[in-house]
Structure 1
Amino acid sequence: MKRFVGLISGGKDSFYTIELLKQKEYNLVALVYIKSTDIDSYMYQTVGHEMIPFYRQVLDVPIYIIETNRKAINTDKEYVHTLNDEVEVIYDHLYELQKKAVFECVSVGAIKSYYQYNRIKSVCDRLNLSVLTPLFNLDQRVIYDAIIECMDVVIVKVACTNLGKEIVGKNLNVISGMRVDNWCGEGGEYETAVLDAPFFKKKLRIKNYEVLHHPEEEDKERTVFFMKINEIEVLEK
């Protein structure tokens, strides 16, 4: 049985990736979340970060939360090792994690983002690890339908004109009848947080939150809205 570390954003794709791998009898040994101070990070989802510590209470594996203020330095399509780039945070932590845990693979929830896939592959190649991306290049509507069928997912950010502020905080199935170009949000249309999944031991509920607008849209037409989570509770399933 191959052992893997899951890179998570808190969103649906990284957790659904883990669900698929567990169905194939891969053994999850740890989760890693990169908490970036850059709200517009090229690599890391920052909205919904308040959820991450609570996943420790619903899962039975260690969760490592790595804070960073690094930004993208190398934005070329083909990534090569670049000192102090935000990607190298993953390399540094996986390198240290290899000293404490045994694993051969790393999972990532990339679907259409070659940018993301290429960077994780660069990291893993240097560490002699395999990259697991079971969702890569699959049909987004098929993935979307599978996710809303088996997971409880909430929208925590919208960033396009046809998805309004009012759907922030709603279940992901709210968009099922809307006109959406990228069903899984691969164009940055929306971001999510996962409240429950088949492999969770318990589930989460967001009790209190605010919906804010992007700070750069203070004096502009507002199209980017995100959730600031104030209170979360853990529930039995």
Structure 2
Amino acid sequence: MKIAALFSGGKDSTYALYWALKNGFEVKYLVSMESESDESYMYHVPNIHLTELLAEAIGIPLVKARTSGEKEREVEDLKEVLSKLDVEGVVAGALASRYQKERIDRIARELGIESFAPMWMVDPEEYMRNLVGEGFEVIIVGVSAFGLDESWLGRKIDEKTIDDLKRLNERYGVHIGGEGGEFETLVLDAPFFKKRLVVDEAEKVWEPMMGSGKLVVKKAHLEAKE
């Protein structure tokens, strides 16, 4: 089956793509929506500009489109992009957001294609440990939850990080997979990448009044894998 993979460069969309490739789907396109709004209901925002490099690292053509980020209008923007692609399905990295999954499912129905969300309602701790165990190299590039401070920006997701997230979940209710917007991620390497992403220059932007911040990657390059 020919499909498009919604792709932001974050862990969830990258793992969904990994699942599709492992299960024999022909992934024809990566689709990235670049939102003009930091408060997008649908799309990952931090470092979306890196999807071009990541698509090159993966070796699948990227289709990129801009959206104002206006609620509901941004859903129609995605539908317009998908309607022009020769695919029979779409895969997304939704974990627990009914808002996102219901709208992607609706778009698929209206276009007459299938919708796949392989990690939907999985156990978040199990998912995160699988991510690490299968060789994904992931860093945190955005935080917006009590218990997550500036020191988390740029932190690699490993077993220790997951243990700390588990404690924050027990204490403050932070979603271990970050599905509630608690944190955002960037994948530097994965088992199916042909090259890995290397961050050359990045800036931490912290808003103390909001208790949130992001790691903005200003310069990066691809590096051959051994």
Output the TM-score relative to the length of structure 1.
0.87
The correspondence of residues 80-99 of structure 1 with structure 2, limited to 5 A, is: 85-98=73-86
Deviation at 1:106, TM superposition (A): 0.1
Structure 2 counterpart of 1:69: 68
Once the two structures are superposed, residues 180-236 of structure 1 have per-residue CA deviations (whole angstroms, 9 ceiling, x without a partner) of 32111012110001111111111101111011135xx6xx3x411101111101000
Alignment-derived partner of residue 200 in structure 2: 207
CA 70–177 in structure 1, closer or farther in 2 if over 3 Å, else same: closer
SS at match of 2:129: helix
> In structure 2, what residue type is equivalent to 1:142?
E
Counterpart CA distance in 1 for 2:9 and 2:54 is: 9
Counterpart amino acid of residue 210 in structure 1: E
Q: Which one-letter code corresponds to 2:98 in the other structure? A: Y
Query: How far 1:56 sits from its partner (Å)?
Result: 3.0
Count of residue pairs brought into register by the alignment:
216
For normalisation by structure 2, the TM-score amounts to 0.91
Tell me the distance in 1 between the aligned counterparts of 2:69 and 2:154.
Answer: 29
1:162 aligns with 2:162: no
Query: In structure 2, what residue type is equivalent to 1:183?
Result: I
Given residue 13 of structure 1, which amino acid in structure 2 is its aligned partner?
A: D
Residues 4 and 29, structure 2, Cα contact 8 Å, conserved in 1: yes
What is aligned with 1:4? 3
- Is the CA contact (8 Å cut-off) linking 2:6 and 2:91 kept in structure 1? yes
Deviations 1:112-165 (A, max 9, x none): 011100000111111101001110011001110011222011100011121111
C-alpha distance in structure 2 between counterparts of 1:211 and 1:205, whole Å: 17
CA shift, 1:61, in A, is 1.4
Sequence identity (%)? 28
Unaligned runs of at least 5 residues, structure 2: 170-174
Q: In the aligned structure 1, how far is the partner of 2:55 from the partner of 2:21? A: 18
Hey, what's the Cα distance between the residues in 2 that align with 1:180 and 1:11?
A: 21
Deviation at 1:4, TM superposition (A): 1.1
For the residue of structure 2 that corresponds to 1:86, the secondary structure is: helix
Give the alignment partner of residue 194 of structure 1, picking from 170, 187, 190. Answer: 187
Moved over 3 A (4+): none
* Amino acid aligned to 1:145: R
Q: What is the aligned-residue RMSD (CA, Å)?
A: 1.3
Which one of 176, 180, 190 corresponds to residue 162 of structure 2?
176
* 1:7-38 Cα distance to aligned partner (Å, 9 max, x none): 01211011101111211111211100000010
Question: CA separation in 1, counterparts of 2:163 and 2:140?
Answer: 15
Deviates more, 1:87-96 or 1:205-214: 205-214
Corresponding position of 1:76: none
Q: Report deviation, 1:54.
A: 0.6
Equivalent residue in structure 2 for 1:115, among 99, 109, 115: 99
Residue 142 of structure 2 aligns with an amino acid whose one-letter code is K
